[in-house]
């Protein structure tokens, strides 16, 4: 898997996107769910967005959150040609899974592409399985991708680079409890150990 240097300018942009998301998300949360206490990530208990999706897996099957009930779901939006942020997020996910020990099988990692023009089902399968065979890539067409990103308040944009392009996107990982309820967003800068602390609190909810 080829990795490229990711500029400090792009890192700064991603930090701004995440900070903007944080301000919006916190104001969007209601009181219907008990808040998570002392977490390293962003508590989204009671959020009024992100209540589901319908996307395809590499086998062409339509997937929803219902398919993963009983597991804590980590969902990250990215693209397979991402030079740094996406590989780092998925490497962190493999470390999180390892640190979960006996609870590792209670975790499902989903990678939603924001670049369906290049991320074909075959490319998605090869990419996610290079990190862990259990990781699952999901995709939609351009309209479905825009709709699910909007539903989860994810920013993404195509940025021309010479004769090709890259994608800017929000660098957060959503965490759903075992009933499929959005509970938290893990920050990109969190360590795997900090993320495991947060995920264990989500596991204790149901």
Say whether pLDDT at 198 is over 50.
Answer: yes
Say whether pLDDT at 115 is over 90.
Answer: yes
- From residue 131, alpha-carbon distances to 39, 45, 156, 166 in Å are 26, 29, 23, 21
Q: For residue 17, which of 155, 117, 109, 138 has the smallest C-alpha distance?
A: 155
What pLDDT sits at residue 206? 78
Enter the DSSP assignment of 47.
B
Query: Tokens 């701004």 sit at which residue?
Result: 16
Q: How sure is the predictor about 143, in pLDDT bands with cuts at 50, 70 and 90? A: very high
What pLDDT sits at residue 45? 87
Query: Tokens 């967005």 sit at which residue?
Result: 49
At residue 24's C-alpha, the angle toward residues 22 and 30, to 5°, is 100
User: What's the mean per-residue pLDDT of the chain?
Assistant: 87
Q: How sure is the predictor about 21, in pLDDT bands with cuts at 50, 70 and 90? A: low
Mean pLDDT of 94-103: 97
DSSP 3-state percent helix, strand, coil across the chain (nearest 5) = 40, 25, 40
**Longest pairwise C-alpha distance within the chain:** 49
Mean pLDDT of 5-32: 48
Q: How sure is the predictor about 9, in pLDDT bands with cuts at 50, 70 and 90? A: very low
pLDDT above 90 as % of the chain: 76
Say whether pLDDT at 25 is over 70.
Answer: no
Say whether pLDDT at 159 is over 90.
Answer: yes
What pLDDT sits at residue 18? 53
Say whether pLDDT at 23 is over 60.
Answer: no
Distance CA 124, CA 158 (A): 18
CA 200 to chain centre: 17
Distance CA 177, CA 201 (A): 10
| Helix or strand holding residue 174 (H, E) | strand 172-176
Rg (CA), the chain: 16
The better pLDDT of the pair 16, 134 is held by: 134
pLDDT above 70 as % of the chain: 83
What pLDDT sits at residue 2? 34
- From residue 169, alpha-carbon distances to 18, 71, 85, 125 in Å are 9, 26, 10, 21
At residue 121's C-alpha, the angle toward residues 176 and 175, to 5°, is 10
**CA torsion sign, 157 to 92 to 40 to 66?**
positive
What pLDDT sits at residue 27? 44
Say whether pLDDT at 30 is over 70.
Answer: no
Mean pLDDT of 55-60: 98
């Amino acid at each position: 898997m080829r990795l490229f240097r990711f500029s400090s300018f792009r890192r700064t942009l991603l930090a701004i996107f995440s900070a903007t998301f944080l301000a919006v998300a916190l104001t969007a949360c209601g009181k219907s769910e008990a808040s998570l206490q002392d977490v390293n990530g962003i508590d989204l208990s009671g959020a009024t967005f992100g209540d589901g999706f319908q996307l395809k897996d590499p086998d062409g099957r339509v997937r929803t959150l219902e398919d993963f009930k009983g597991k804590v779901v980590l969902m990250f939006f990215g693209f397979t040609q991402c030079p740094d942020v996406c590989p780092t997020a998925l490497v962190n996910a493999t470390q999180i899974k390892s640190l979960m020990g006996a609870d590792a099988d209670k975790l499902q990692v989903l990678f939603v592409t924001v670049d369906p023009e290049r991320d074909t089902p075959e490319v998605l399968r090869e990419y996610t399985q290079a990190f862990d065979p259990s990781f699952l890539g999901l995709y939609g067409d351009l309209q479905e991708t825009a709709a699910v990103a909007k539903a989860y308040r994810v920013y993404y944009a195509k940025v021309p680079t010479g004769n090709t392009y890259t994608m800017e996107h929000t660098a957060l990982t959503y965490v759903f409890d075992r009933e499929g309820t959005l509970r938290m967003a893990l920050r990109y800068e969190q360590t795997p150990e900090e993320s495991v602390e947060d995920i264990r609190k989500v596991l204790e909810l149901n």
